Amino acid sequence: MNKTILVTGGAGFIGSNFVMGWLAQSDATVINLDYLTYAGNMENLTSLEGDNRHIFVKGSIGDAELITGLLATHQPCAVVNFAAESHVDRSIHSPEDFIQTNIVGTFRLLDATRGYWNGLSTEDKAAFRFLHVSTDEVYGSLKKDDPAFSETNRYEPNSPYSASKAASDHLVRAYHHTYGLPVLTTNCSNNYGPFHFPEKLIPLLITNALANKNLPVYGDGQQIRDWLYVADHCSGIRRVLEAGRVGETYNIGGWNEMANIDIVHTVCDLLDEARPRADGKSYREQITFVTDRPGHDRRYAIDASKIEQELGWKPAETFATGIRKTVQWYLDNPEWVAHVQSGAYRDWVEKNYAGRD
Ligand code: NAD
Ligand code: TYD
């Protein structure tokens, strides 16, 4: 079977890192299907300009006809689904987009893939994989002393975002059990790294700090997330694609739980070192506690022992090394930052932060 893969959402944060990481270790062609919503950015892919192993197609995972055509033309051996609406705060303001893309879109992608897969030879059917990229947020919120999420935790999503991702995970599972589609699902913790859109905490902190703006901390800042460097998430996905057991789910995490306020302090300290403020004061001066997010999950933590024991995967970066690289990347790429802070981005910032005390 040909080694081409179809990646969806490959112009977003994790998807673009995945496509670049994939092409750095394989000569197989990548078909990159992305709808280029506000979060999709062709500037994430400029390093691939002129590389004929990368075929970009603008379109939606909700467009069954388009996907059927792409699958028939390119005959991929795998589909890796990153395409989604991904920001919790936006899901609170506009849940409808999350239902359409994450649930209906994933359904259409699955169903078109099933049609293609049914037509493959027995050998190619066995080799084919549909890998669905999901989140730890489907498991809900942990209390301080609860054990970390394992793959057998109940699904208890709390936001429209996590509920829509949970629904998509269930559809993926059902397509395996009902139709035999060879699926894999990964549930990963919070990512950070290059090309992260600055609506999310870490890039928002870096870009706001440098622009002399407030660093908004929701509530008491004691919410805990388990941070993973994006290249490690991508290597985990590659490993699951290569060796994961069909029908299984794998949690991917960094064994790195941190309270938000500690993330904020770390980013400030790194910037104080790399790009000190003109007045000699710390970027910590810009920290502002603001009204909490409604329904804010208190703690996420991933138990990544299944992927480690079964597939031998471990993150390469620690938080200390990954966050340093990340801060440096934003300092080195002011043009990328300037371009993503378009009028639409400014409208979002106004919408999300204006009503907070
Ligand atoms: P992102 O918002 O940066 O990128 C999403 C991409 O999907 C964008 O390029 C966008 O244009 C594209 N897209 C949106 N709707 C589409 C559609 N209908 N058809 C085709 N493309 C469409 O998101 P991200 O942070 O890169 O997340 C990627 C995936 O990983 C998502 O499924 C998300 O749920 C999951 N995930 C993210 C994190 C994280 O920390 N960011 C953690 C775990 C899992
Ligand atoms: P975010 O990056 O939006 O990821 P998620 O909500 O998917 O975990 O937020 C990470 C954490 O940071 C989360 O607890 C919410 C918090 N947060 C802030 O305190 N201030 C902000 O301006 C943002 C965007 C997030």
- pLDDT at residue 244, rounded to an integer: 98
Segment 121-165, tens digit of pLDDT = 999 999 999 999 999 999 999 999 999 999 999 999 999 999 999
Residue 254 has pLDDT above 90, yes or no: no
Average pLDDT value over all residues in the chain: 97
Distance in Å, CA 102 to ligand 1 centroid: 9
Task: Read off the pTM.
Answer: 0.98
Domain 5-192+227-256+295-316 CATH superfamily: NAD(P)-binding Rossmann-like Domain (3.40.50.720)
Best mutation site among 6, 13, 204 for ligand 1 pocket (most ligand atoms within 8 Å of CB): 13
Report the pLDDT value the prediction gives residue 278, as an integer from 0 to 100: 97
The closest-lying atom of ligand 2 relative to the alpha carbon of residue 137 is 7
Relative to the CA of 190, which ligand 1 atom is closest? Answer: 40
- Find out whether the beta carbon of 100 lies less than 6 Å from any atom of ligand 1: no
Task: Indicate if the pLDDT at residue 2 is higher than 90.
Answer: no
> Taking 80 as the threshold, does the pLDDT of residue 227 lie above it?
yes
Share of the chain above pLDDT 90, in %: 98
Q: What is the pLDDT of residues 83-110, one digit of tens each?
A: 999 999 999 999 999 999 999 999 999 9
Task: Please compute the mean of the pLDDT values over residues 344-353 and round it to a whole number.
Answer: 94
Please check whether residue 137 is in contact with residue 227, taking contact to mean a CB–CB distance below 8 angstroms. Answer: no
Domain ranges in the chain are 5-192+227-256+295-316
Give me the pLDDT at residue 6, please.
98
- Number of Cα atoms under 13 Å in the Cβ half of residue 247: 9
Residue nearest atom 10 of ligand 2, based on CA coordinates? 201
Per DSSP, which regions of the chain are E strands?
Answer: 5-8, 30-34, 54-58, 78-81, 129-135, 183-188, 191-192, 215-218, 224-226, 228-229, 249-252, 257-259, 287-290
Expressed in angstroms and rounded, the spacing between residue 279 Cα and the centre of ligand 1 is 38
Q: What was the pLDDT predicted at 295?
A: 97
Does residue 105 have its Cβ closer than 6 Å to ligand 1? yes
* pLDDT surpasses 90 at 252: yes
Q: Alpha-carbon dihedral of residues 204, 326, 12, 307, nearest 10 degrees? A: -120
Q: Residues with catalytic annotation?
A: 136-137, 161
Ligand 2: nearest atom to the Cα of 217: 19
Long-range (24+ apart) CB contacts under 8 A made by 344-347 are 344/38, 345/38, 345/198, 345/199
Place 342 in a pLDDT band, splitting at 50, 70 and 90.
confident
List pocket residues of ligand 2, CB cut-off 6 Å.
88, 190, 200-201, 204, 216-218, 223, 225, 260, 293
**80 in ligand 1 pocket by Cβ < 6 Å?**
no
> Which atom of ligand 2 lies nearest, measured to the CA of 161?
7
Q: What is the pLDDT of residue 277?
A: 98
Pairing of strands 224-226, 257-259: antiparallel
Mutate to test the pocket of ligand 2, among 89, 134, 142, 201 (most ligand atoms within 8 A of CB): 201
The pLDDT value recorded for residue 356 is 87
Among residues of the chain, what percentage have pLDDT more than 70? 100
- Residue given tokens 């549930």 in the structure block: 187
Return the residue whose CA atom lies nearest to atom 23 of ligand 2: 201
Q: Token pair of 203, please?
A: 């890039």
For 301-324, what is the mean pLDDT?
Answer: 98
Which candidate, 47, 100, 303, 78, places its Cα nearest to that of 189? Answer: 303
Instruction: Give the tokens for residue 263.
Output: 């993330």
Tokens of 25: 């270790």
pLDDT attached to residue 355: 81
**Interval 28-56 mean pLDDT:** 97
Query: Edge-to-edge strands of the sheet including 129-135?
Result: 54-58, 30-34, 5-8, 78-81, 129-135, 183-188, 249-252
Of the candidates 354, 92, 346, 40, the one whose C-alpha atom is nearest the C-alpha of residue 208 is 346
Q: Which atom of ligand 2 is nearest to the CA of 202?
A: 2
Kindly give the distance from the C-alpha atom of residue 171 to the centroid of ligand 1, in angstroms, as a whole number. 18
Q: How much is the pLDDT for 144? A: 96
* 190 within ligand 1 shell (Cβ under 6 A): yes
pLDDT above 80: residue 1 = no
**Position 222, amino acid:** Q
